[in-house]
Structure 1
Amino acid sequence: MKRKPAVILAFLLAFISVSDGYGQKKKNNPPIFTEVVYEGKDQVYIDNPLKENEFYNPILQGCYPDPAITRKGDDYYMVVSSFAMFPGVPIFHSKDLVNWKQIGHVLDRKSQLKVQDTGISMGIYAPDIKYNPYNDTFYMITTQFAGGFGNIVVKTKDPMQGWSDPIKLKFDGIDPGLFFDDNGKAYVVHNDAPNRGEERYEGHRVIKIWEYDLDNDQVVAGTDKIIVDGGVDPSKNPIWIEAPHIYKKDGKYFLMCAEGGTGGNHSEVIFKSDSPTGPFIPAPSNPILTQKYFGNNRSNKVDWAGHADLVLGPDDKYYGVFLGIRPNDKNRVNTGRETFILPVDWSGEFPVFENGLIPMEPKLKMPAGITENKTGSDGFFPNGNFTYTERFDAEKLDFRWIGLRGPREDFISFNKKGLQINPFAVNIKEVKPTSTLFYRQQHKNFAFTTAIEFKPASEKELAGITTVQSEKFNYVFGITKKGNEDFILLQRTEKGESQIIGSAKIETKGPIRLQVKATGDAYAFGYAIGEGDFTYFEVSGDILSTNVAGGFTGNMIGLYATTANDAVPE
């Protein structure tokens, strides 16, 4: 029988897909991870045990920066930045500002989040969430540096039920925030560059406001106005006025912004006006929150405090959420920017963060009337020292596990043994979606241990653990092949240049335990065959810090697999 060309082509494609192109059947042996145990043990929590009416600060440990918060009735919702992580914009719910549950992500679909070809510190910046009581709708507005989006807004009637596709907004700049006045009018404020030709110095930025058309979800053309030029004291050339939020109290309008840039000079400042469009006059007591005045040698150091948002608490007292960092023993930032909270005294003309202008303490008193600290139990997000065990036996993956540049569901599957990662032909140094399931480093002192079943079929296959500050700064610790022998190896990549730190021949007939642990800056990657003892490669965590690597994320610990491996055992 004579076959048609299309039939022959289909047969050949099917044959090649299960062979190496020469008629030899390829082995399909993706890695299976059977368990993960993350254990955090920071000295600060050992030295400062909680009393009955206390909770720990930060409330979100690890890379959860740029928090924004809103309230509807007794329900609080909080969102944070997510950059190129997928899904994007983690969203948390609370009834009391102490106990928080992650209810999902705002941007959880490819139509909402197009970060597939962008660096890890691009993507989603500084989301703002606001509830509008006048149309009973929640809005999340943010800047997406990817996918041709720019500034976008999504909305929902119920944050528990998902969000709309993005609406692209017609203005430039970053850090947009929404304000709904009690007359029903809406506004957008944001950071922007000065008018062309009016730039005075490096870091000179302005805050703009627009009227916002709620019916068409768009700023009103021609209504933009600069309401802050430079910062609190323009004569001192203040830098990076950003993250604006407007509040109304006692008939007056208050504009709160970050100033000084995310770093050692970060602070929060406040302005006041009779109108949402200004003029805004700075408070005489600025800043109202900062940690920039104190020495580097203070114990339990918190720094970089700023980028805040205010909300009225369950005790009718104001509270502010904001970002801060807790550097390690080398003063390096590996856990990234975290979410903190402080009570706010607004008994006077301007709000002031209580104890936000002295060295911050690791714990707080719970709001009046709140009697139960449930963190780490019943689905509430843990903080302090804790152990998290994941056996991959639930129907849904915990929201703490995320992908990079693409959905987790594109490369994971579950079987009776655990989690299977179906590897992409992409390695961790490429600016593409990777087949890596990530968990944030949440402590200076931690251990992350997993068990893996994997027998590589070629040198191009590798599976194990990766720790990632960016595509150019990372470690890869995995199992691969050289010739007919299987190896474990550790690869260090700094500024995009890779080197093998160590390697060893291993048997891959059964489960292998892999571990990365740290005590401050001292990291170690270990492997153990079966129930044997761990053998470690000791390294510095320097490249896993923003001090060395730059960028905006914290260290991400990943279960990693690739068929594009370039790490060759020595």
Structure 2
Amino acid sequence: MDFKHLFVCVAGCLAVTSYGKGGDAGKPKDWPVFSSVVYEGNDAVFTKNPLRKDEFYNPILQGCYPDPSICRRGDDYYLVCSSFAMFPGVPVFHSTDLVNWRQVGHALDRPSQLKVHDTGTSNGVYAPTIRYNPHNEMFYMITTQVSGGFGNMMVKTKNPEEGWSDPIKLHFNGIDPSIFFDDDGKAYIVHNDGPKKSLWKGHRVIKLWEYDVETDKLVPGTDKVIVDGGTKLDKHPFWIEAPHIYKKDGKYYLMCAEGGTGEYHSEVVFVSDKVDGPYVESPNNPILTQRYLNPMRENKIEHAGHSDVVEGKDGKWYGVFLGIRPNEKGHSLIGRETFILPVDWSGTFPVFENGLIPMEPKQKMPAGVENKQGEDGYLPCGNFSFTDDFAGKALDNRWVGIRCNPEDFVSFVQGGLRIEPFGADISEKKPLSALWLRQMHGNFSFGATVDYRPRSESDLAGIACMQNRNAQIVLGLTKKDGRTMITLVRRLKDKTEILGESEIVGKRPVRLQVEAQGEDFRFSYSTDGHVYHNVGGKVDGAFLSTTVAGGFVGNVVGLYATSGNNR
């Protein structure tokens, strides 16, 4: 580690110490040690649709990985997604065939790049775009960070797997920026912005700027509105956003999301002879949506949109986009995931193949590609399990913190992972000493063994489910009247309620577990690893869905500790 990175790490730890810790956390020997984490998903859609040799599952990234963006350099594809208040931020994935993906890190992995310590779970980092500039052999990731005073910003690197620069602030309003590199080496930034005068609810514009690659600055006075309102203006389209520019056969194409991120979500496209317009919309818009379909269809995928396309090595085009897999009650606890479809660009305008009819849970493999999902480090898809005994001395990339870096409170010890409790309770909008995985299935179980002896009622450690600070549930060990207790506590809106509790006798580690079948959640514990005792009965988990809790993120499950328990 060089001096620069050492300074960044020390500064980050000091920053977390000042705003994250508090209370009396005791000495390290008093801190909880977690081990034998097991997450297992078992959704009927995958059981009923087994893969043939030439098929793979869609989505390609299960869990809350929305707003995907993709680029290509030679034989390598890189993909990024929104991360909101998660730390590290903006996960980076790599593939050579568009089917098998490895996570190779995060674009924002240190405090100088990411300041989300005081923001809500659905705030933070929105809608990143990743692009490769062949003129300087540099990768760029541009995004909106609605926290920490960043606003619109960019980082860059020669190698997405070896870290990214400190942020370059971009001084313009609006959200969802994207960068485009033309054949002559010139660069342009395009983004969503507000109109000079709003003519209807959801009226937005798409604006273009010239960008100086040498100075990494916008060219003053070059901003221009290239789309005002969206498509079919007589119908008052709403929320034209997430713009990307592509060049094909000498023409410029502008592709955008439209209709908001809910049931009316869609993808639309425009064409122009010049990069700054005028842009003419496709007569066949939208080119991707699920909004017109029978709501009673099987294996529903909804809210499709916010796409990015890339030309494959086979000369065909492919598009990644977000969508949700709602449960039978129409709710989404998993959140918005990343899907992929081939794109037919044989005519003037691109069209997503099968993007306007009910999407299937399986896709045909591209020619010559072998499905290795879940093997050799590639992320699994379908029904799968994830186990972690923390023996590798480095966290799997799928673990994240909320509002702070996990490296600031975790340490690898004999027998597992130790978490240093912060003084913040999970209901506070503060950095949490908690390690999270995204919920990736409608039906899942998540369990961990915790070795912990709380000293007071302020101490608590266990497992948790959380959508936001007012939609969460915790199963943990704490003290009450001098006794060690297992307690199940739910926070719904502004109300905190103890759903069940049980005394624990002895000092051996305890196994904690949550099992969910759709919206039916059951929490239990075991002191011998064999016999499990339910706590709190059956809990309605609908409050953890985006439909009920609001916001943009899915439910996360994780390991949580605090020295500031206020339950």
TM-score range relative to shorter protein: over 0.9
One-letter amino acid of the counterpart of residue 341, structure 2 = L
- For 2:477, the equivalent position in structure 1 comes to 479
One-letter amino acid of the counterpart of residue 60, structure 1 = L
CA deviation string 1:220-262 (max 9, x = no partner): 1111111111111111111100000000111011000000000
- Counterpart of 1:286 in 2: which secondary structure? coil
Matched, 1:43 2:44: yes
- For 2:275, the equivalent position in structure 1 comes to 276
CA distance in 2, matches of 1:201, 1:561: 47
CA distance in 2, matches of 1:475, 1:154: 36
Shift of 1:296: 2.0
One-letter amino acid of the counterpart of residue 346, structure 1 = W
For 1:156-555, what aligned pairs fall within 5 Å after superposition? 156-195=157-196, 198-370=197-369, 372-536=370-534, 537-555=537-555
Does the 8 Å CA contact 1:193/1:204 hold for their aligned counterparts? yes
CA distance in 1, matches of 2:335, 2:509: 32
CA distance in 1, matches of 2:212, 2:372: 41
One-letter amino acid of the counterpart of residue 155, structure 1 = K
Shift of 1:26: 7.4
Runs of 4+ in structure 1 off by over 6 angstroms are none
CA distance in 2, matches of 1:448, 1:507: 24
Does the 8 Å CA contact 1:473/1:496 hold for their aligned counterparts? no
Shift of 1:423: 0.3
Shift of 1:476: 1.2
Does the 8 Å CA contact 2:24/2:563 hold for their aligned counterparts? no
Does the 8 Å CA contact 1:471/1:496 hold for their aligned counterparts? no
- For 2:104, the equivalent position in structure 1 comes to 103
TM-score normalised to structure 2 length: 0.94
Shift of 1:86: 0.1
Shift of 1:295: 2.3
- For 1:150, the equivalent position in structure 2 comes to 151
Shift of 1:93: 0.2
Shift of 1:205: 0.7
Against the structure 1 CA distance between its residues 46 and 27, is the aligned structure 2 distance closer, same or farther, given a 3 Å change threshold? Answer: closer
CA distance in 1, matches of 2:57, 2:313: 18
Does the 8 Å CA contact 1:227/1:279 hold for their aligned counterparts? yes
Shift of 1:507: 2.1
CA deviation string 1:316-344 (max 9, x = no partner): 10000000000112211100000000000
- Counterpart of 2:433 in 1: which secondary structure? strand
CA deviation string 1:442-484 (max 9, x = no partner): 0001111111111110000000011000011111111111011
Against the structure 1 CA distance between its residues 369 and 461, is the aligned structure 2 distance closer, same or farther, given a 3 Å change threshold? Answer: same
Does the 8 Å CA contact 2:319/2:340 hold for their aligned counterparts? yes
**Which has the larger Rg?**
1
Does the 8 Å CA contact 1:429/1:496 hold for their aligned counterparts? no
Shift of 1:369: 2.1
Judge which range, 154-163 or 496-505, deviates more.
496-505
One-letter amino acid of the counterpart of residue 312, structure 1 = E
CA distance in 1, matches of 2:556, 2:77: 27
- For 1:566, the equivalent position in structure 2 comes to 566
CA deviation string 1:39-77 (max 9, x = no partner): 111111111111111100000000000000000000000
Shift of 1:27: 8.9
Aligned-pair RMSD on alpha carbons?
A: 1.4
CA deviation string 1:338-365 (max 9, x = no partner): 0000000000110000000000000101
Shift of 1:495: 1.2
- Counterpart of 1:434 in 2: which secondary structure? coil
Judge which range, 141-150 or 522-531, deviates more.
522-531
- Counterpart of 1:383 in 2: which secondary structure? coil
- Counterpart of 1:235 in 2: which secondary structure? helix
CA distance in 2, matches of 1:42, 1:278: 46
- Counterpart of 1:409 in 2: which secondary structure? helix
Judge which range, 520-529 or 531-540, deviates more.
531-540
Shift of 1:496: 2.6
CA distance in 2, matches of 1:177, 1:199: 23
Against the structure 1 CA distance between its residues 36 and 560, is the aligned structure 2 distance closer, same or farther, given a 3 Å change threshold? Answer: same
Does the 8 Å CA contact 1:455/1:508 hold for their aligned counterparts? no
Shift of 1:431: 1.0
Against the structure 1 CA distance between its residues 68 and 377, is the aligned structure 2 distance closer, same or farther, given a 3 Å change threshold? Answer: same
TM-score normalised to structure 1 length: 0.94
CA distance in 1, matches of 2:228, 2:470: 36
Judge which range, 438-447 or 495-504, deviates more.
495-504
Count of matched residue positions in the alignment of Structure 1 and Structure 2: 544
Against the structure 1 CA distance between its residues 528 and 312, is the aligned structure 2 distance closer, same or farther, given a 3 Å change threshold? Answer: same
Report sequence identity in percent. 60
Shift of 1:531: 2.5
**Residue ranges of structure 2 left out of the alignment (5+ in a row):** 1-20
CA deviation string 1:514-570 (max 9, x = no partner): 111111111111111113422223101111100011011100101000011012xxx
- Counterpart of 2:161 in 1: which secondary structure? helix
CA distance in 1, matches of 2:235, 2:218: 32
- For 1:10, the equivalent position in structure 2 comes to none
- Counterpart of 1:543 in 2: which secondary structure? helix
- Counterpart of 1:160 in 2: which secondary structure? coil
CA distance in 1, matches of 2:551, 2:363: 30
- Counterpart of 2:30 in 1: which secondary structure? coil
